[in-house]
Amino acid sequence: MVKRMIVRIDEDKCTGCGQCVSPCAEGAIQIINGKAKVVSEELCDGMGFCIGICPEGAISVEERQTVEFNAEKAEAHPRTTDVSIQCFKCGCGEDGDYLMPVRYDKESLWVCTRCLPTLIHG
């Protein structure tokens, strides 16, 4: 066991919408019985890309004792969800630009790095 950052999902806040599943490239999050769950702590890298996309604010990252992150297992984990996401401003996909999760007008959305400066500065 090691002390490291890992995702925590508040089941009371989680509505089971599933928006957090796609940003988790390691496959650590799945919807089980209508709620998002970290199905394998060794797959969670603690980066928290799922946080910005959660419309309910049910996801946080905390430091705690858990198993070590297993990069090899995470990379080998098959993707089971559609991860085709787009920038809400210009519509570009993740194959052309780096996309980041953002909260905008009380919604969890994706924005590309080209559109981010105008989003911040107007």
Same domain, 68 and 121: no
Residues 3/42/102/9 CA torsion (nearest 10 deg): -80
For residue 2, what are the CA distances in angstroms to 25, 29, 52, 61, 115?
22, 20, 26, 15, 39
Domain extent for 116: 84-122
Same domain, 8 and 57: yes
CA–CA dist 108, 6 (Å, integer)? 21
Q: Give tens-digit pLDDT for 43-69.
A: 998 888 788 788 899 999 999 999 998
Same domain, 112 and 75: no
Q: Record the pTM.
A: 0.65
* pLDDT surpassing 90 at residue 94: no
Same domain, 4 and 16: yes
Same domain, 71 and 19: yes
Same domain, 98 and 39: no
- Output the pLDDT for position 80: 52
Same domain, 10 and 68: yes
- Output the pLDDT for position 27: 87
Cβ 44 vs Cβ 26: under 8 Å:
yes
Report residue 94 as tokens.
């993740």
Cβ 50 vs Cβ 23: under 8 Å:
yes
Same domain, 27 and 42: yes
